[in-house]
Amino acid sequence: MAALMLRWSCLGKRWVLACIDGGSRHGRGAAIGLTSRRKRGQSSVAQQPLIAVQKSRKGEHEWAAVVGLEIHAQISSNSKLFSGSQVHFAAPPNSLVSFFDASLPGTLPVLNRRCVEAAVMTGLALNCRINKKSLFDRKHYFYADLPAGYQITQQRLPIAVNGSLAYSVSVGKKPSQVSTRTVRIKQIQLEQDSGKSLHDEPRSQTLIDLNRAGVGLLEVVLEPDMSCGEEAASAVRELQLILQALGTSQANMAEGQLRVDANISVHHPGEPLGVRTEVKNLNSARFLAKAIDFEIKRQIHELENGRKILNETRSFDDKLGCTMPMRDKEGKQDYRFMPEPNLPPLLLYDTASLPPGADPQQVINIDWIRERLPELPGKTREKLIQQYGMLPEHSFTLLNEVGLLEFFQNVIKETRAEPKKVTSWVLNIFLGFLKQQNLAVNESPVTPSALAELLNLLDRKAISSSAARQVFEELWQSKGKTPSQIVSEKKLELMQDQEALERVCHTVMEGHPQVVMDMKRGNPRAINKLIGLVRKATLSRADPTVIKEILERKLSS
Partner 1 sequence: MSSLLSAPSALREDALRRLKREMWARAVKLGLRSWVGWRRGFTSKADPQRSGRVTAEVIEHLERLALVDFGSLEAVARLEKAIAFADRLRAVDTDGVEPMESVLEDRCLYLRSDNVVEGNCAEELLQNAHRVVEEYFVAPPGNISLPKQDEQEPFSHI
Nearer to partner 1, 199 or 521 (CB): 199
β-strand pairing of 346-347 with 133-134: antiparallel
Supply the DSSP string of 243-271, one letter for each residue: HHHHTS----GGGTSEEEEEEEEEE-TTS
264 in contact with partner 1 (CB under 8 A):
no
Answer whether 63's CB lies under 8 Å from 17's CB. yes
Give strand ranges (E) for 118-239. 129-130, 133-134, 137-140, 150-153, 160-170, 178-192, 196-200, 205-209, 216-226
Contact pick of 42, 112, 244, 265 for partner 1 (by CB under 8 A)? 112
47 in contact with partner 1 (CB under 8 A):
no
Nearer to partner 1, 89 or 99 (CB): 99
Give 160's strand partners: 130, 188
Give 20's strand partners: 5
Is residue 387 left, alpha or beta, with left meaning phi > 0 and alpha meaning psi from -120 to 50?
A: alpha
Nearer to partner 1, 329 or 541 (CB): 329
271 in contact with partner 1 (CB under 8 A):
no
Nearer to partner 1, 239 or 369 (CB): 369
Nearer to partner 1, 341 or 524 (CB): 341
Contact pick of 71, 126, 218, 364 for partner 1 (by CB under 8 A)? 364
The minimum distance between CB 96 and partner 1, in angstroms, equals: 5
Answer whether 265's CB lies under 8 Å from 217's CB. no
Whole-angstrom distance, CA of residue 453 vs CA of residue 445: 15
275 in contact with partner 1 (CB under 8 A):
no
325 in contact with partner 1 (CB under 8 A):
no
343 in contact with partner 1 (CB under 8 A):
yes
Q: CA 279, 282, 287: angle at the middle one, nearest 5?
A: 105
48 in contact with partner 1 (CB under 8 A):
no
Contact characters 119-158, partner 1, x per CB under 8 A: ----------------x----x-xxx--------------
Give 439's strand partners: none
The minimum distance between CB 114 and partner 1, in angstroms, equals: 4
360 in contact with partner 1 (CB under 8 A):
no
208 in contact with partner 1 (CB under 8 A):
yes
β-strand pairing of 313-317 with 277-282: parallel
Contact pick of 341, 356, 357, 524 for partner 1 (by CB under 8 A)? 341
86 in contact with partner 1 (CB under 8 A):
yes
Q: How far is CA 257 from CA 74, 89, 463, in A?
A: 5, 9, 47
357 in contact with partner 1 (CB under 8 A):
no
- Contacting residues toward partner 1, per CB under 8 A: 77-79, 83-86, 92-100, 102, 104, 110-116, 135, 140, 142-144, 197-201, 204-210, 327-328, 334, 336, 339, 341-347, 361-362, 364
